Structure 1
Amino acid sequence: MPILSSIKNFFYAPEAPAVATETKVITGVDAIGRVTPFYSSSFGGDSFTARTDVNAVFYTILNAIQTAAKKVQWSVYKLEKDENAAKIPQHPLAEVIYRPNPNQSWTQFVETFIGRYLTRGNVFIYALRAESGLNKGHIQRLYIMPDTVEIVAENGWLGGIISYRVPNGSGYTEFAPEDVLHVKKFSSCDGLYGLSPISAMALPLKGIEQSLKQKIRILGQGGPATVYWTESSDNENVEPLTLEQEMQLNSRIVGGKSSYVTQKLDSTTIGLSPADLEILENIAADGGMVADALAYPSLLLSGSKSNTYSNYSEAQRALYENCVIPLLNELRDGLNQKWGSAYKDKAYIDFTTEKVAVLQPNTAELIKSAQSADFLTVNEKRKLSGFERLELNGDVFLLSAAVQVNEKLEADEPIGG
């Protein structure tokens, strides 16, 4: 028996493989009356629920993150002897990030990855790889698998993945663990599946839905509610309306129809209750809570109208630093760790934010800082300022005359002063 298997058996007793299941259920309606499907997943008694129909605030944030990610450029790199990375445009991996599969561009692939990751908490990526020849193990195509992926795993905390499988109507299609990359969100239950951010934010999302539902109801009724009553004097004998008459009158008024009665009518507008006002005010608060959970700068939400340009620029930088780049890091590291060893030339996939304007430093400030850095060579200053190196007289120090005179005085100064 292999040593690794012996170690595993020491920690747990072999049992029948445990299978994680996922089912879709229908529970309730959303703010405008549509049914809201939920996606429920479980493994070993632990379960979580992820909504498949996100609300407006979550979708706004998700769309902003996906749009920002499209500005990031991906390439294939290789480390040089001086530890600098050089692009390799002609490489098998370059073909993958140019056209991961016949149905998607790389931009669409990344967009789908981010969408699945933030709404489901799990992304399964299948790599169709060469099975033989000089390119054995090289990625030929990449596909993001459907949400119905099930994990077949061994029992025990040291248990490995047996396979991934997808229902196909009459059974399952099996996929080997070495051909599937599973990127998942952290889950406190330490299960095989990641925790969906939507599940973690169930309460604030529900609050937003109720707030929007209340607002839509008020707008649909043409504003605050209006009460109608009969106006009479002490010497008038007015019979009260029957229940049927009240219902008919109410249906005509709500439906916008005219209603005629023999008594005088008067009306007044009833303002929103404190509870209604609090619900509407909580829309912005709940939206900020969702933004915080996704590390999204709440300053960029449409409710913030009084932002200065400086604050907006800082929020844009935070969008990349807190949201976009960490997500892309997970995709990059996952791909390189899972299948990078198949390429013997140590090439790897990476991205750069050089074309993202909001992340670029101020060139004038960089040049000014480089000029005062006498401890840097000319080429080091040029690199700091974003310029190419000089082959001739670039690796020298330029010192000001004042510094040279000062060094001369210190050298000629007699010992003891």
Structure 2
Amino acid sequence: MFGFGRKDDGPAEAKASATGRVVAWGAAGRSVWSARDTGTLTRLGFTGNPVGFRAVKLIAEAAAAVPLVAGDGQARFDVHPVLELLRRPNGAQGQAEWFEALFGQLLLSGNGYVEAVGGGGLPVELHVLRSDRMSVVPGTDGWPVAYDYAVGGRKHRFKVGEVSPVLHVRSFHPQDDHYGLSPMQAAATAMDVHNAASRWSKGLLDNAARPSGAIVNSGEDLSPDQYERLATEMEALHQGARNAGRPMLLDGGLDWKPMGFSPSDMEFQKTKEAAAREIATAFGVPPMMLGIPGDATYANYVEANRAFYRLTVLPLVGRVTEALSYWLAQQAGETLRIEADRDRIGALQADRDAEWSRIAGADFLTAEEKRRMLGLPPLDV
């Protein structure tokens, strides 16, 4: 019953499809997306993508250069310990460099962490901590009771008391109670498309930009071994961006029939530009400011720059300075408010001049009402 003693009639008949003479190759399969953790997004979207790099640098540098003023609601201070602290937060960083690091962390991860050094009263130094090394330790009520900073297997815990030694600034995240949502996460898909298009274009250029097609067998049907060998060689030598357009050496009656698109037909450049525009949209940067062609949203660069400050830079600065004001006021034990000095921002000068002229010409308003509308403190009595 097991077939012992049976005459060997040769190998069993192998069934084959009627389309066995034509072997078509494509890029079928599921899309592969990069991981969405902070380290991967920073590596692929900032250090490995020119659009993401420029968007983050543009916002962070512009926000760090915004002039700041401090006051208590009744007067503005020309000299104040908080202003001196922000001018030189620590021995290694000045104000612009320190704020750029803080804004950069907030853009890359959605979270910014500041450590206060010095016990009692106003801090002696302020340090920006890396967001990918910080983790929130929630208590039984859900509020943070500590922050863990982990480096190379070692961990330091900052305990949250009446006044926290760590300021946590985070962007809005609708599905997370403790961590913010970064523009980099929203732009991750466009980042993958842009990076993949760059790799594919590089592969085509390396291999003479030849299009793909089909292998046609004009002779007898391929045996199972021949088919498997051909499939293995195609997968190993001719699939993927690294092998894009690589020439093939065919034998045994096989013929190459081009059937794909040329690089101009596939419009890789337009694909990259569309992905770049999506990245710029996620960060709130007008594509015109990143050198992306084909965008006619703004009439000129000046208008785009003005919208960039109004819609992206100032809201970011406002969120950070408001959090810093409350936190440092707790440290110092006094009323304090830090905010952007809009009158000294060159990109908004035309808007401010128009606002000042309009309010100054309102004869039905008192001097105090005009100052209040302009965001100025009351005059000393």
Same fold (TM over 0.5): yes
Q: Distance in 2 between matches of 1:364 and 1:169?
A: 53
Contact 2:298 2:304 in 1 (8 A): no
Identify the match of residue 272 of structure 2 among 271, 279, 283.
283
Partner of 1:250: none
Partner of 2:182: 196
Q: Residues 371 and 188 from structure 1, CA distance in 2 versus in 1: closer, same or farther, beyond 3 angstroms?
A: closer
Cα distance, 1:298 vs structure 2 = 2.3
SS at match of 1:58: helix
List runs of 5+ in structure 2 lacking aligned partners.
1-32, 214-229, 231-244, 247-257
Partner of 2:309: 320
Q: Residues 364 and 78 from structure 1, CA distance in 2 versus in 1: closer, same or farther, beyond 3 angstroms?
A: closer
C-alpha deviations, 1:24-59, integer Å up to 9, x for none? xxxxxxxxxxxx996737xxxxxx974433222111
SS at match of 2:344: coil
C-alpha deviations, 1:224-271, integer Å up to 9, x for none? 5699xxxxxxxxxxxxxxx9xxxxxxxxxx99xxxxxxxxxxxx9x96
Over the aligned positions, Cα root-mean-square deviation in angstroms equals: 4.2
Contact 2:287 2:295 in 1 (8 A): no
Cα distance, 1:315 vs structure 2 = 0.9
Cα distance, 1:180 vs structure 2 = 0.7
Identify the match of residue 137 of structure 2 among 144, 148, 152.
152
Partner of 1:296: 285
C-alpha deviations, 1:128-163, integer Å up to 9, x for none? 133xxxxx33121111112312222224xx322221
Q: How does 1:8-407 map to 2 (within 5 A)?
A: 40=37, 50-54=41-45, 55-80=49-74, 85-89=75-79, 91-130=80-119, 136-146=120-130, 147-155=132-140, 158-169=141-152, 171-177=154-160, 178-221=164-207, 272=262, 276-277=266-267, 279-304=268-293, 310-361=299-350, 369=358, 373-376=362-365
SS at match of 2:309: helix
SS at match of 1:319: helix
Farther-moved stretch of structure 1 (195-204 vs 99-108): 195-204
TM-score by length of 1: 0.61
Q: Distance in 2 between matches of 1:151 and 1:366?
A: 43
The higher relative CO (CA closer than 8 Å, separation ≥ 6) is in 2
Q: Residues 95 and 372 from structure 1, CA distance in 2 versus in 1: closer, same or farther, beyond 3 angstroms?
A: closer
Q: Which has the higher strand share?
A: 1
SS at match of 1:114: helix
Partner of 1:17: none
C-alpha deviations, 1:84-119, integer Å up to 9, x for none? x41241x22122111111111111111111111111
Q: Residues 330 and 102 from structure 1, CA distance in 2 versus in 1: closer, same or farther, beyond 3 angstroms?
A: same
Residue correspondences, number? 302
Contact 2:190 2:278 in 1 (8 A): yes
Cα distance, 1:195 vs structure 2 = 2.6
Q: Distance in 1 between matches of 2:134 and 2:350?
A: 43
List runs of 5+ in structure 1 lacking aligned partners.
1-35, 42-47, 131-135, 228-242, 244-253, 256-267, 392-417
TM-score by length of 2: 0.66
Q: Distance in 2 between matches of 1:66 and 1:329?
A: 13
Cα distance, 1:182 vs structure 2 = 1.1
C-alpha deviations, 1:318-360, integer Å up to 9, x for none? 1111111111112111112223133344233222132322201
Give the % identical residues. 25
AA paired with 1:208? H
C-alpha deviations, 1:264-320, integer Å up to 9, x for none? xxxx9x96168722x431211111111221222223231237869953212101111
Q: Residues 151 and 271 from structure 1, CA distance in 2 versus in 1: closer, same or farther, beyond 3 angstroms?
A: closer
Q: Residues 104 and 282 from structure 1, CA distance in 2 versus in 1: closer, same or farther, beyond 3 angstroms?
A: same
